[in-house]
Structure 1
Amino acid sequence: MTQREPAFDTSAALSAISDSEAITRRSTAPNPPILYLLWGTVYALGYLALHAALFRWAPVSLPLALTLFAGLTVAGAAVSTVLGIRAGKELRGASSRRGMLYGLAWATGMVSVGFIVVALLRLNLEPATLVWLASAVATLLVGVLFTAGGAVFLDLAMFLQGVAVLAANLISVLVGTSPLVLIGWLAACAVLFAGAGIEAHRSVTGARR
């Protein structure tokens, strides 16, 4: 009497494939919760300092606010670069290069924004106009990098949250240099903090799309 082979469990196979895909994606993509929390903090502190300096609701000078924002941005870019490089550290080939190049994109992009701000300073613009333009450029870059990251790592949530950052930045651009510009700034920060929570939940549950 021959022993029957166990039936092939389709659901178990699909579950194993899904788990493997989730592990691979977590290995090749930068840590999204940390990235969102990092840039949400950088921009929230930076924007609040700039707004306080411009509209004088706190004892913060504009040079101090700009220095604070610049320092936070440099630190954020450095951490983002490390995360991108580490994302593909344990892998070889295209996956490793993808993580490394994405991390370097953050660093080169932020350095470019720094040079743009320096160029704006040389134009002797009104402080409110200078801050408005510089913040629009910087937030535009962050939104584009997140949407690009979502496309590169096939992460729809990351892509959509990047789009939301771009939409919030558009609000700031349309509002202009009035005190209400803080609404758009903080909306972009809220998107980033929400993204941190969403990605942390996804990391725990393994619910990767």
Structure 2
Amino acid sequence: MTPQPAETPDAADGPGTPDAPLDLAAARAIIEAQRTRVRTTAYTDDRVIFAIWSTAWTVGYGVLWATSRDGVDRMPGWAWGVFGALILAGVVTTVLHSLRRMSGLDGVSRRTGALYGWSWFVSFVAAQVLIGGLARAGLPDEGVALAANGISALIVGILYMAGGALWQDRAQFVLGVWMALVAGVATLVGLPGTFAVMCLAGGGGMAVGVLAAHVAQRRGRAARRGAVA
């Protein structure tokens, strides 16, 4: 008797075959898990950054506002020192926070975070050089102060918008738009009202950002727990 060839198992008979149907639910779960890992590991915690800048702007501009009642030209040097230290702390913390959170990743994500973090430092250094050039060119002290404030605040707004666009973070992008608008309005108001606008609208906007980021994170954790359950 001629031996019959062994039956070839049908592709649909078992999941171990190359042509087994893909489990779409499992694939979706893997994709979501990867997204969650990247977002929690790679990207900065918006609450930390917003809180730092809320404190820097509220306290820093609050000090300038409180000491400008007798005129901008009579403001004490220590007030500008406090303001400068707070802004510097915000920039340095943002850079270090971004670099630290990207240190465990490789490839494009890590490079993106590193470049974004360093863009803060480079932008503010360039801004100081630009403002110094305006002062040397003979711009009046009030004009220099307005330019320094407007340029610095605009940098913060633009970089937040850039971060929101890079990481698809709507809250961060909207807050960047708000900061850019505040910078423009504060410049139009003129000194010393500029300090009040930056303190209340700028620092207050950052505080709202802290709350929005916290709510978003709580909703995200609740959604992940619901998906696991």
2:179 to 165, 172, 186: 165
Output the CA distance in 2 between the equivalents of 1:119 and 1:28: 38
Q: 3-state SS of the aligned residue for 2:193?
A: coil
Matches of 2:55 and 2:46, distance apart in 1: 14
Q: Please say which structure displays the higher CA radius of gyration.
A: 2
Deviations 1:37-68 (A, max 9, x none): 111111112211222222249xx934222211
2:91 pairs, out of 77, 82, 85, with 77
Task: Describe how 1:84-99 pairs up with structure 2 within 5 A.
Answer: 84-99=98-113
> Is it true that 1:40 corresponds to 2:54 in the alignment?
yes
Residue number in structure 2 paired with 1:105: 119
Query: Does the alignment pair 1:192 with 2:211?
Result: no
Of 103, 113, 118, 2:132 maps to 118
Q: Aligned partners of 1:65, 1:178: CA distance in 2, in Å?
A: 14
What one-letter code is carried by the residue in structure 1 that aligns with 2:86? Answer: L
Return closer, same or farther for 1:70/1:121 CA change in 2, 3 Å cut-off: farther
Give CA-to-partner distance per residue, 1:63-116, whole Å, 9 cap, x none. Answer: 222211111122221111111111211110011111111111111112222223
Distance in 2, matches of 1:143 and 1:38, equals 15
Partner of 1:131: 145
Residue 81 (structure 2) aligned to one of 67, 76, 87 = 67
Aligned pair count? 201
Give unpaired runs (5+ residues) of structure 2: 1-13, 16-22, 224-229
Q: Residue 71 of structure 1: SS of its match in structure 2?
A: helix
Per the TM alignment, residue 163 of structure 1 is displaced from its structure 2 partner at its CA by 0.6
Please report the TM-score for the alignment, with normalisation by the length of structure 1: 0.82
1:50–1:131 CA contact under 8 A, matched in 2: no
The residue that corresponds to 2:4 in the other structure is: none
Aligned residue in 1 for 2:39:
25
| Secondary structure of the corresponding residue to residue 106 of structure 2 | coil
From the superposition, tell whether residues 100 and 187 of structure 1 become closer, same or farther in structure 2 (CA, over 3 Å).
Answer: same
Q: 1:120 & 1:45 partners in 2: Cα distance? A: 27
1:200 counterpart letter in structure 2: H
Distance 1:152 1:123 in 2: 37
Compared CA separation, residues 130 and 49, structure 1 to 2 (3 A):
farther
SS in 2 for 1:146: helix
Identity of aligned residues (%): 25
In 1, the alpha carbon distance for the partners of 2:187 and 2:138 equals 20
Q: 1:53 to 1:120 in 2, by over 3 A?
A: farther
Q: Structure 1 CA distance, aligned partners of 2:115 and 2:24?
A: 40
Verify the 8 A CA contact 2:62 2:195 in the aligned structure 1.
no
Normalising by structure 2, report the TM-score.
0.76
**What stretches of structure 1 move > 6 A for 4+ residues in a row?**
none
Cα drift, residue 151 of structure 1: 0.8
